[in-house]
Amino acid sequence: MRTGWLPVVAALLCGAAPAVDWSSAMRVDVAMTEYRFMPDHLILQRGRVYRLHLVNTGKELHEFTAPAFFAASTVRDNRVLANGGQEVSVPAGGSADIDFVPNKTGSFDLTCADHDWAGMVGKIVVK
């Protein structure tokens, strides 16, 4: 066996995941306003790299709250997540980016934690 293969074999045996090419991220734009997400339904592919670009065009702070979705994804920088890794908070007039890879297929609830009562809800579907 050639020595160039040893690190690859060692990584496979240890269960290490392959490195993510974050530069290949597909951008997904979501606008947040009172009291809705636009779009409010996202359809994503498992294993694909994404950059979620959130823009709050409203006059209030809004959250992109999806705890089960974020738990089932690899997030590039967890410091972007708030509330124990459950959401991204975006101040009025602000924006935020989060890079991630969905690892699990399914349907995930999306809410604004402070405004779900007003109908600020949606779905994230990973195929």
Q: Where are the domains of the chain?
A: 22-126
Sign of CA dihedral 123, 47, 100, 9: positive
CA dihedral 37, 43, 47, 48 (to 10 degrees): -70
CATH topology of domain 22-126: Immunoglobulin-like (2.60.40)
Per-residue pLDDT of the chain (127 residues; tens, 9 = 90+): 445 544 444 444 445 556 889 989 999 999 999 999 999 999 999 999 999 999 999 999 999 999 999 999 999 999 999 998 899 999 999 999 999 999 999 999 999 999 999 999 999 999 9
Query: pTM of this prediction?
Result: 0.83
CA–CA dist 71, 95 (Å, integer) = 22
Note the pLDDT of residue 20. Answer: 87
Residues 121, 40 contacting (CB under 8 angstroms): yes
Note the pLDDT of residue 19. Answer: 86
Sign of CA dihedral 21, 23, 24, 28: positive
What tokens appear for 4 in the block?
């160039």
